[in-house]
Structure 1
Amino acid sequence: MSKSKAIENNGISNTNSPNGKYMAPRPEGVKPTCVVITYSVSKDIKAVREVLDERGASVHYIIDKDGTQKEYHNDLTDQAFYAGKSSWKGEVGVNKFGIGVMLINDAKSDFPEEQIEKLKEFLKDVTERYPDLDLKHDLVGLGEVTVNREGNAHIAPGSKFPWKELAEAGFGRYFETTQEQKSELLLSLDSTGEKVNTLQENLKEYGYGVESTSTFDQFTQQAVRVFNDRYGTGLPNEEPPISWTEAGQDVLSQLLGQTVLEQAENA
C-alpha cells in the first residue's frame, strides 16, 4: 500500500514528518496485528512532537482534542517507535506488529467526544483495511503491552480512557461488575503462593507479559493496575489500583472463557 493510499483510506492530513530516523521498515511479511493507544501528557501536537523528537520516539497517528487526525508513518510498511520493551500475547517487540495511536490528553482530563468519535472512525477504517486484525481482542493500551518494563511503568491511556464506550462500538471488550465485587479483596502486595501463580498464568494467557513467580511482584502489580484501569475493577479508593479483587477475577474469567468459546466456534 502506498503512502497516498493510506492517507486516502484514513481521510487524514499528512504532516510529512521529517524524522524518518524515528521509524524503521516492518519486518518482511509482518502486518499489523494490534492497535496500541497511548496519550500525550503534553498539551498539544507541537509540544508532543518536541518530546517525541527529543526521545527519538514516534507514533503512526496523533488525534487532537478537536478530532483532527494526523499521520506520521505508514501503518502497513513502517514500524513507529513508541512501545520500547514490550510484548502482547507472547510476541515480543510490539513496535514490529502494532499500530501506535496517540491521543492529545494531559493524563488527568476526560477525553473529548470529538476525539473519541474520530478514534472510532479510525478503528473502523483499520478493520476495513486489515480484515484479519481483530480489534475486539487486539485493541490495547500502551500500559498493557509494557507491564514487563523495569522502573516507572506506562499506565497509558489511563483511567479516564472510555474503554466501555469503545466496546459498545465494537472495539475491545467490557464487562460490568458490582461495587460489592470491587470491594472483595482477593490478592494484594503481601500475597504469595498458588493463588498468585494462577493469577499470573491467567494474565499471561490474556496477553500480558508476566511470568509465574508465586509472588505479587513488580510486573504483576503493573499488570493488575492497567487491567483495573481498563475494566474498572480496582479496590474502591485505592490509588494506584494494584490490588486484585473479585471484580477483576470475574472479568478476567469472562475474557478468557469468551476467547476459548470463540476459538472453538471458529475451529
Structure 2
Amino acid sequence: MQVEQVPSPNFNDRKHAVNMLVLHYTGMESGEAALTRMCDPAAEVSAHYMIWEDGRISQLVAEDKRAWHAGVSIWQGDTDLNSRSIGIEIVNGGHDVPLSDGTLPPYPDAQIEAVIALCKNILSRHDIPASRVVAHSDIAPARKTDPGEHFPWAQLAAAGIGLWPSAAALSLDESSLMPGDSGPAVSDLQNMLRAIGYGLEANGTYDEATRIVISAFQRRYVPTQITGAADPETLERLAHVYGLGAGAA
C-alpha cells in the first residue's frame, strides 16, 4: 500500500489516545478541490488521509496529530472526537454534488479496495473497537450525511471493518414506532441508540431529535429506506447492532 505525503498545516496536538476511525466523503466537485481546501489554513479543516477514485492514498496529517474533520460531534458519550480519531476523506461528491440525474455518485471498486486496505492497516496499529468505526453522519447526525447511504458498509464489515447486522439474524415482526409516539417502547428505542453510541436524550418521546438519529442509523444500516420512522426492519437491525456489543467502547 503506497501513501503519498501531502502535508496540511491544519492540525494540532491530540488530547486523547486514538480509539476511533471516522469515514467521510469529500462532498466537492473534485478530489483536487477537496485537497486544496484541506491544505488551506483559512479553511481550518483537514483529515489524516484522502482516498482518490482510482485508489491512490494521500496522507495530510500524521496519525499522532489531531486533524480537524469531525467538528461538533459525540459518540458513546465522548466529545472532542478529533482528538480520539483518525479521519479518512473519500473522494465522492455525495449529496452535495450528485450526478446529473440526481443519484449519488458511485464509489469505484479501486477506491473501496483502497479504503479497506487503509482501514485494515490502521486497525492493525491502533486499538479501535468495531463499534467505534463510524460514519460522519453517525457522530453528527443533525449536520452530516456522509459517507452516505451509497457507501458499502456491509463490504467493509465482511473485511473485518466495523459492524453490520446479519440478514440471518432478522426475523421481522409487525411492531413499529413513529414520530409523535411516546412511552416505554420509545424510551427503550432511545436507550438502545444511546448504547450504540448516538448522542440522544432518552425522554420517552419520539421527537425530532429521535427522528434525525433514526435517519442516521438507517443511512448506515437500512440504506434503502431512510424515513426517520422505526419500521420493523429498522427495529430488527437496531436490536442486532445493539446485540453485537456496539455499546461497548
Q: Aligned to 1:141, which of 131, 135, 158?
A: 135
Normalising by structure 2, report the TM-score. Answer: 0.86
Question: What per-residue deviation string (whole Å, max 9, x for no partner) do you get for residues 183-234 of structure 1?
Answer: 9561222222222221111100001111112222232222111211111266
Q: How does 1:220-235 map to 2 (within 5 A)?
A: 220-232=210-222, 235=225
Contact 2:182–2:205 (CA<8 Å) still a contact in 1? yes
Q: Structure 2 matches for 1:178-189, cutoff 5 A?
A: 181=172, 186-189=176-179
Seq. identity, %: 25
User: Who is 2:187 aligned against?
Assistant: 197
Change (3 A) 1:156 1:185: farther
Q: Does 1:64 align with 2:47?
A: no
Q: Is the 8 A contact 1:177 1:247 kept in 2?
A: no
Relative contact order (alpha carbons < 8 A, sep ≥ 6): 1 or 2 greater? 2
Structure 2 unaligned regions, length at least 5? 95-103
Q: Which deviates more from structure 2 when the two are superposed, residues 244-253 or residues 107-116?
A: 244-253
> Is the aligned partner of 1:94 residue 2:89?
no
Count of equivalent residues: 236
Q: Which residue of 2 aligns with 1:174?
A: 164
Partner of 2:65 in structure 1?
A: 78
Deviation at 1:140, TM superposition (A): 0.5
Give yes or no for contact 1:233–1:247 (8 Å, CA) kept in 2.
no
Q: 1:188–1:177: structure 2 CA closer, same or farther, 3 Å change rule?
A: farther
Aligned to 1:124: 120
- Return the alpha-carbon distance in structure 1 between the equivalents of residues 174 and 166 of structure 2: 15
Tell me how far apart the structure 1 counterparts of residues 237 and 66 of structure 2 sit (CA, whole Å): 32
1:106 CA drift (Å): 1.3
- Structure-2 residue corresponding to 1:252: 238
Q: Is 1:105 the counterpart of 2:92 in the alignment?
A: yes
Amino acid at match of 1:64: W
- After superposition, what is the alpha-carbon deviation per residue over 1:20-73, rounded to whole angstroms, capped at 9, x for unaligned? 2x211001xx22101000101113222113444453211111001000110010
Partner of 2:30 in structure 1? Answer: 44
Amino acid aligned to 1:133: I
TM-score relative to the length of structure 1 = 0.81
2:98: which partner in 1? Answer: none
- Could you tell me how far 1:162 is from its partner in structure 2? 0.1
Between 218-227 and 171-180, report the one with greater CA deviation: 171-180
Question: Could you say which structure has the higher helix fraction?
Answer: 1
